[in-house]
Amino acid sequence: MNSRKVVFLFFTTLLIGSVSGAIVGFILDYEMYAEGSFLNLVFGVVWLLGISAAFTLISQMGFFAYLTVHRFGLGLFKSHKLWNAVQLILIAFVIFDLIYFRYIAFVEEGQTIVGYMVMPILLLAYGLVVAYLKARDTHEGAFVPALFFMVVVTTIEWVPALTVNDPKWLWLYLTPLLVANTYQLLILHRLTNQPVK
């Protein structure tokens, strides 16, 4: 992949992630941004774009870090099957942590663990869809790494919002991460011109 493609990937990811986060943030706090003066709206949208751009940059760092970790894992375990098994175990561990540890940390009287299962299960379901698309467009061996990236790496990037446990902040942070991670994952093989196996 040449430098032009890297620059293209960087700026298109930044744009898509920033806009997606700004749209969701605007919808979540519509009254706050829509009420008042026109300047309030403009500054609100600029703030949303800026904060979403920051989250998108975190996504980009996570993506390139995972590409390195993936190569390291393949070299360490000397086998795609063994490395995939390790990744599946880590996916299960992360989903469990997202449910159980958030429940332990934030449960209030009258709440059950079921409410804390919704977001992790939705993230896993979304990751399965994206991994399927990646495997369909490339080869079946891409399924587990894509699922790992979408679930585990996205969760690591999402940690600052998870510690706050504010629903609006969770969605505002997660949206640009998911959109940017999905875009990067699904466009990479097109940019590198790898033939479909």
Q: How far apart are alpha carbons 149 and 144 in whole angstroms?
A: 9
Q: How far apart are alpha carbons 111 and 119 in whole angstroms?
A: 15
Cα dihedral across residues 4, 5, 6, 8: positive or negative: positive
Q: Is the pLDDT of residue 62 over 70?
A: yes
Average pLDDT over residues 72-84: 91
Nearest in space to 62 (alpha carbons), one of 158, 170, 147: 158
Q: Is the pLDDT of residue 83 over 90?
A: yes
Nearest in space to 25 (alpha carbons), one of 4, 55, 58, 66: 55
- Give me the pLDDT at residue 194, please: 55
Q: Residue 21 contacts by C-beta under 8 Å, 6 or more apart in sequence?
A: 48, 49, 51, 52, 53, 55, 56, 172, 175, 176, 179
Nearest in space to 183 (alpha carbons), one of 156, 158, 163, 154: 154
Is residue 151 packed enough to be buried (19+ CB in 10 Å), middle (13-18) or exposed (0-12)? Answer: buried
- Give me the pLDDT at residue 33, please: 80
- Under 8 Å between Cβ of 184 and 59: yes
- Give me the pLDDT at residue 140, please: 92
Q: Is the pLDDT of residue 196 over 50?
A: no
Q: Is the pLDDT of residue 195 over 50?
A: no
Average pLDDT over residues 50-58: 96
pLDDT digits (tens, 9 = 90+) for 113-169: 998 999 999 999 999 999 999 999 999 999 999 999 999 999 999 999 888 878 888
Q: How far apart are alpha carbons 174 and 37 in whole angstroms?
A: 29
